[in-house]
Amino acid sequence: MDLQGKHIVLGLTGGVACYKGADLARELIKAGATVQAVMTASAQRFVTPLLLQSLTGRPVATTQWDTTQPNAMAHINLSREADAILVAPATADFIARLAQGRCDELLSLLCVARPAERCGLFIAPAMNREMWAHPATQRNTQQVQQDGAVVWGPASGSQACGELGDGRMWEPEEIRDALVAHFQPKVLRGRTVLITAGPTFEPLDPVRGLTNRSSGKMGFALARAAAEAGAQVTLVAGPVHLPTPAGVQRLDVESAREMQAAVLPLAAQHDVFIATAAVADWRPVHEAQAKIKKVTGQSSPQLELTENPDVLAAVAALPKPPFCVGFAAETHDLERHARDKLQRKRLQLVVANHGPSTFGRDENQLLLVDAQGTRELPAADKLSLARALVIDLAQRLPPTP
C-alpha cells in the first residue's frame, strides 16, 4: 500500500491510450490511493465516465460548469484536495494547452489552478511518433517542464496506427511506480550509490558452472529504494532475470572477475558501495573448451579450484573508499560471522541474513551489525526492508559539502 493516504486526480485526454488510463486507475487504487478521475470531452469518446466511476468509486468530473459543486468551482476544489495531478494519457493538444496556459476546459483549468508548492503535476504523453517528434510538440513539452510539470515518457514501440517509434504511453505499472517514488523521502538526494546484486557464475565448461541460489531481489530492491530516495544509482548485476529499476544504470556481468573489473574503476566515484551480490569464493583453475562428458566406468573428473578476488575487500582497501556496506548470507551464528566480516574487511556496516530462508523469496529479515552494536529489521517484503535500510544508511553518512 505504497500510496496509502494519497489522493490523486487522474486526468484522461482523448487518445487510444485511454484504456491504459483506466488500468492505471486500478493500479493506483490497489496501491492504496484514492482516485478522482477527470475526463476531457475527447477522452469520453474512447472510454465512458461510467467505467472510470466504477473503477474509482467516485463520480467523474467532466466540466468546469458543474453546478453540483457548492461554490461552482470544481477546478479549485479538485486541485486543493489532490496530493498529485496525473494526466495519462496526455495528448499533443493537451500539452499545447498547458504550454500556452489555456484554461478553456476543466482538466487544463485545474492544472493551472493547482497549488504548485504541494501538488505535483505529472504528464504521461501518448501520441503518434510523428506528432511526438514535431518541433511544436517538443517545444511545448519543454515549456510545461520549465513551468513545473514532470514528464514521464513516452516509450518506444508499436502504435495503434501500425507505426513503430516513440510515442507510446508508459505502462500503468511504470507510472504507478514513478508516482510511488515521488512520495518517498529524498534522504539520498545528491548522493551516488554503487550496488552489486545477484550471484556470479564461474564456468566449468561451455554448459556448466559454479553458482549459488541468490536471486538478486534484495540488491535490486535496494537499487530501487536508493533511486527513490534521490540517489544516482549504478547497479552491477550478476546473471539474473529481473527488470532494471527506473532511473538506475545497470551493468551486467557473469563471473567474480568480471564483477571486480566493473566495480573497481567506479567505486571511488561513488559515495556509497553496497555489496549485496553473492560472489563465488572459488572458480575452476581451468575451463574446459568442450563439454565434460560422462564416461561409464570412469571416475568423476577432479576439479581444481582457485580463490576468486574479494570485490568488497578490494573496494574497502582503496585509498579513498566509499562508505562500504557488506551483506552476509549465513546459515548460522549470524551476528558472529557478520562481525568477523565487518572487522576483517574494515567495513562501516554489515547486513546479515539467513541465506537459505531468503534466496529467491520476496521476504527477508535483516540484522544490521556495526562497531557499536546490532539492530534488527523485522521480517517484511524486500522493498520495504530496502527502504528502511536506505533511511538508516542516510543517517550514517557524513553531511554533503
Residue type, 228: E
For residue 274, what is its C-alpha cell? 553496497
Could you tell me which of 401, 395, 309, 308 has the C-alpha nearest to residue 349?
395
Q: Which CATH class is domain 192-396?
A: alpha beta
Pairing of the two strands 7-12 and 34-39: parallel
Instruction: Show the cell assigned to 227.
Output: 533511486
Q: Which three cell numbers stand for residue 303?
A: 576439479
Q: Is 347 left (phi over 0), alpha (psi -120 to 50) or beta?
A: beta
For 299, the enclosing helix (H) or strand (E) is none
**Rounded to an integer, what is the distance from CA 181 to the centroid of its chain?**
8
C-alpha cell at 311: 570485490
Written as tens digits, the pLDDT of the chain (401 aa) is: 899 999 999 999 999 999 999 999 999 999 999 999 999 999 999 999 999 999 999 999 998 888 777 787 788 889 889 999 999 999 999 999 999 999 989 999 999 999 999 999 999 999 999 999 999 999 999 999 999 999 999 999 988 888 889 999 999 999 999 999 999 999 999 999 999 999 999 999 899 999 988 899 999 999 999 999 999 999 999 999 999 999 999 999 999 999 999 999 999 999 999 999 999 999 999 888 888 888 877 777 788 899 999 999 999 999 999 999 999 887 888 888 899 999 999 999 999 987 767 777 888 889 999 989 989 889 899 999 999 999 999 999 988 77
Is 324 an active-site residue? Answer: no
Which listed residue (18, 119, 161, 324) is catalytic?
A: 161
Domain with CATH 3.40.50.10300 in the chain: 192-396
* Unique residue bearing C-alpha cell 575452476: 284
Range list for CATH 3.40.50.1950 in the chain: 7-183
Rounded-to-10 torsion of CA 313, 331, 349, 345: -20
**Secondary structure class of 223 (helix, strand, coil):** helix
CATH topology of domain 7-183: Rossmann fold (3.40.50)
Q: How far apart are CA 261 and CA 281, in angstroms?
A: 16
Q: At what angle do helices 49-56 and 18-30 cross, to 10 degrees?
A: 10
